[in-house]
Amino acid sequence: MRTQRIPRGRRATGALAIVSLAVFALMAGCSNQHPGSAAVSSTGTLQIAGAGSTFGYPIYSKWFGDYNKLHPTIQISYNSIGSGAGVQQFTAGTVFFGATDVPMTEMQLQAAGRPVLHLPTVIGGVVPIYNVPGITASLKFTGQVLANIFLGHITKWNDPAIAAVNPGVGLPDTDILVVHRSDGSGTTAIWADYLSKVSPEWKQNVGVSTAIHWP
């Protein structure tokens, strides 16, 4: 039996609600407590380090590159390591700014030990994508169907619930294999928040966090 994967390949469309997110830059002023996060090199170049969200990386790399062309004496480096790791490095003071898809919690703000500013920078859509070889039609999914897939209640592509919103499509009798982030991810929190809105069961049993216990 062949196994198919979600998410990969085509993007789920139709009844799927696109969830928007904001990526926040978490910034604090330079201080002597964390001299390595923003420093002037021997050549007089100001070097500013940041880390965090993989979601925001494409636009950040473009912005920072363009800014450096206008201001050659300022170099901004960004390590795309995920929202959770970005918050950790920011809190540890190893970077001058971090980027996360989910604002820092009150506990995280206290752990930072210094004033923190949240600056919204980017907004985008988070959607599941799928790969079903042999299917050329754009499959449709309701919010409840998606929740039941990620809860493990729907395990076959030809499940009646999927077939009901895709009439006339010859869905295969193959397993659905869900693929998700294993690290702390702001995108995970955004997706879990959506599933919590469409599924009371998800909200009660799984909840919303950057790192969740996937059913």
Residue owning tokens 């790192």:
211
Residue ranges of alpha helices (H) inside the chain are: 57-70, 83-92, 106-112, 143-151, 160-164, 186-198, 200-205
Indicate if the pLDDT at residue 35 is higher than 70.
no
Taking only the tens place, the pLDDT of each residue in 42-65 is: 677 899 999 998 888 999 999 999
Task: Give mean pLDDT, residues 123-149.
Answer: 92
Q: Which two tokens stand for residue 213?
A: 């216990």
**pTM for this structure?**
0.66
Residue 99 DSSP SS3: strand
Rounded-to-integer distance, Cα 19 and Cα 25, Å:
20
Taking only the tens place, the pLDDT of each residue in 163-212 is: 999 999 999 999 999 999 888 788 888 899 999 999 999 999 999 988 89
Taking only the tens place, the pLDDT of each residue in 78-115 is: 999 988 888 899 899 899 888 888 888 899 889 988 88
Quote the strand ranges of the chain, DSSP E.
3-11, 19-27, 38-40, 46-52, 74-80, 97-100, 117-126, 129-131, 175-178
